[in-house]
Structure 1
């Protein structure tokens, strides 16, 4: 099969690799769409020791089951694999499983390939009227759906029902969509890029500013750098909340003194539960997250150029979807 292989820092090769093979208890999925995630970019830049070269990246995918009783079934992939028996898994918090793995991390190859083998419980059936390029957004949307759920469940009843999302990439846009779908109407995205800000406003119908000002009941850091944490610390209102999704930088930025004196809650949020993933899929399928027409599609064979364009900051769309068969 063909695959896009991470060979080293800022080096990707599109070539033949051994075919993916479904082991016992797995199903083979012919990949039709696979999105580029920020974590793929971190690996591409050599910033992720968990993803050493050579490796097939990619974990935001949808496709069609090949063979077996469900041959031809259209599915989207939950790429988070867990043990199923630990206290976290048993309590429905599979994202905290100590043995959790995600495809695109060794020993599991990723979905920038023509085929991937997955467990049936990690596959959600996609209705015939939903394009698989849209269904491939389930994974990044689930990340933000999970974060929005945690934040809204924990937000004090007396807090202002306003949110600022820092970062207008796919996770930031998804956070805005998830917050609105779960009941918070007053949501603003802060995005410094003029090109992306225009895209989010004109194509996605979002309220977007260059930089946030004032105070918000809930601040979502969808970037995760010291500078963005500093902004989040300053703009969360007293008694408000910071939701931290981004993993851009490990340390720095939080104003712990202000957070302590003003009782600002900080929640770090990672991936999603299996139920969050299913709930996100349902929201995609019934239209609660909008038309989801803000992606750019490119052939997997041109994946190296797509990564280079993202690296250069010349992509307006929040997400590039790679298609392996074109």
Structure 2
């Protein structure tokens, strides 16, 4: 099969790779759409030791089952493979499974390829009216859905109608803002510093999109979601959270720096790191997409998988205004 392979730092090659062999209770899925994630970019730049070259990256995928009783079923792929039997899995927090695996990280190859093998329990059926290019957005949006759910739970007894600031206009931040709105939060501001992306989001969404300078000096928020995870964005989150409020940290841009621990302690600000999503979060996000509760979902750009290396270069250079580039193994959408 053809695949886009991470062969070395900033080196991706479109080349032949072995066909995946489904294991027990797994299906062979023909990939129809797969998004480029920030974690793929981290690996591409050599910043993720969990993803050593050579490796097929990509975990935001949708496709068509090509075997077994679910043959020809259109599916969104939950890339997080868990054991289903440990205390975390049994308590509904399967994203914290001690033996979790995720496609695009050894021992599992990713979805920048024509085919992938994945357990059947990781597949969510997609209705015919939903394009698979939109269905693959379930994965990045589910990260925001998970963070929004936890943030709402933390604030339930403190603020009836919370004001929320979301940092980052990529798919994680945008997905967080859309998830909040779908979950009934009406007052959400989105901060995006890239002027190209900010202008694009202002055009394609009805969200309030700002740069940091647009915020009043004394403007504080009940909940701040950091969808970027850089030292600078953590510093912004620390400064802009209201006393008694909460920070939900999703982004993995940098490991350290930025948090104002003194202010967070004196003002009793809660900080919660969130990782991916539970299987329930993923299913709820997919259903919200199917029901149209997350908007038009037209904020991506489709490109052929064979041109994926250029897509990574464009993202690296900040030349793509879209929050998401979706790669299509069988040609442009």
Which category describes the TM-score, using the shorter chain as reference length? over 0.9
For the aligned residue pairs, the C-alpha RMSD in angstroms reads 0.9
Give the secondary structure class of the aligned counterpart of 1:237. Answer: strand
Residue of structure 1 in register with 2:97 after alignment: 97
Contact between 1:156 and 1:240, CA under 8 Å: does it hold in 2?
Answer: no
How many residue pairs are counted as aligned between the two chains? 326
CA drift at 1:204: 1.7
CA distance in 2, matches of 1:239, 1:156: 12
CA drift at 1:222: 0.7
CA drift at 1:157: 3.4
Contact between 1:34 and 1:58, CA under 8 Å: does it hold in 2?
Answer: yes
Pairing 1:231–2:233 present:
no
CA distance in 1, matches of 2:153, 2:99: 27
CA distance in 1, matches of 2:14, 2:145: 33
CA distance in 2, matches of 1:290, 1:312: 28
**Deviation string, structure 1 residues 27-78 (Cα, Å, up to 9, x no partner):** 1000000000000000000000000000000000000000211110000100
Pairing 1:71–2:84 present:
no
Give the secondary structure class of the aligned counterpart of 2:283. Answer: helix
CA drift at 1:156: 4.5
Contact between 1:156 and 1:239, CA under 8 Å: does it hold in 2?
Answer: no
Give the secondary structure class of the aligned counterpart of 1:118. Answer: strand
Gaps of 5+ in 1: none
**Deviation string, structure 1 residues 163-218 (Cα, Å, up to 9, x no partner):** 01111111000000011111111000111111111111111221111114410000
1:271 paired residue among 253, 273, 276: 276
Residue of structure 2 in register with 1:179 after alignment: 180
Give the secondary structure class of the aligned counterpart of 1:140. Answer: helix
CA drift at 1:12: 0.1
**Deviation string, structure 1 residues 110-148 (Cα, Å, up to 9, x no partner):** 000000011000000000000000000010011110000
Contact between 1:64 and 1:72, CA under 8 Å: does it hold in 2?
Answer: yes
Give the secondary structure class of the aligned counterpart of 1:308. Answer: helix
Residue of structure 1 in register with 2:130 after alignment: 130
CA distance in 1, matches of 2:84, 2:48: 26
Residue of structure 2 in register with 1:299 after alignment: 304
Gaps of 5+ in 2: none
